[in-house]
Amino acid sequence: MRKKFLPIIVILTILFGLTVAGYVTPEKKEKMPVRILFKNSGGKVIFTHIRHHRDYAIPCEKCHHERETSDQEPLPCGSCHPESFDKDYVREHIRSFPDTSYCSKCHHAELGKLNFNHEAHEEYAEDDCQTCHHDTNIEKEPQKCGNCHTNAGTKDVPSVRDAAHKRCITCHDDMFEEGLKGCSPCHKMHDMKNYSGDYTACGQCHQKNEKDLVLNRTSAFHDKCMECHKQMKRGPYKDNECSRCHLK
């Protein structure tokens, strides 16, 4: 008889323990603005923050998509989606994040070690060093391209990237045709979770303007708000509904 009840008693004890622990550990309180006023040239917008979360049952991460863990304070959208990615932004933004875990949200890739078997390539080029190196007018002796070609390049001397690529592409045009996916045979990528080095400008890899890579402030708001309304067919999103958000 006693043996039969033992498991039940054990379970009840555990449950009781958990209940007490639940009361004792304070509930994780997240700071939540009730409503937020945005002043802007389209007419001010009052955003019903708490209603969106509580009444419309939208989890924080739907909007605050930068949070890695739920106890991270959300950042203002403008810290990552500024009005423009100008010099001021580049200078200021580095100090505007609580820790470096945010950096890899945008700086998501860095080139690692170059994968290039020089010896094998001497053979592929049939020992004609000038397949890649210059003649003695420029390079007295074959050497590292980076000795003369800088990261930025100049009007007359191309960047290391462009200089090297121009030589490699003569035999490896297939890799370059694949765009960003074709970088990996030559460039190993760093694991950005454990990265601690300098950051390469986006344009070094993308060859497009950073403003086309990260949304600016207005588009970030418009896209985030409207996309959801449209999907759920609730809330304003149609072209003639500007004034449901923008008060004159």
CB of 95 to ligand HEC, least distance (A): 8
Q: What does the H/E/C string look like for 89-148?
A: HHHHHCCCCCCHHHHHHCCCCCEEEECCCHHHHHHHCCCCHHHCCCCCCCCCCCCCHHHC
Nearer to ligand HEC, 19 or 100 (CB): 100
CB of 193 to ligand HEC, least distance (A): 14
* E strand or H helix at 204: helix 202-206
H helix intervals, 136-212: 160-177, 202-206
CB of 174 to ligand HEC, least distance (A): 8
Instruction: Find out whether 127 and 119 touch, Cβ atoms under 8 Å.
Output: no
Find residue 44's DSSP bridge partners.
247
Nearer to ligand HEC, 31 or 193 (CB): 31
Nearer to ligand HEC, 10 or 94 (CB): 94
How far apart are the C-alpha atoms of 167 and 6, rounded to whole Å?
Answer: 78
Instruction: Find out whether 81 and 220 touch, Cβ atoms under 8 Å.
Output: yes
CB of 19 to ligand HEC, least distance (A): 25
Nearer to ligand HEC, 16 or 108 (CB): 108
CB of 12 to ligand HEC, least distance (A): 34
State the residue number with the nearest CB to ligand HEC.
Answer: 42
Nearer to ligand HEC, 20 or 92 (CB): 92
Nearer to ligand HEC, 4 or 39 (CB): 39
CB of 75 to ligand HEC, least distance (A): 4
Residue whose entry in the numeric block shows the structure tokens 């389209």: 42
Of 225, 201, 231, the C-alpha closest to 213 is 201
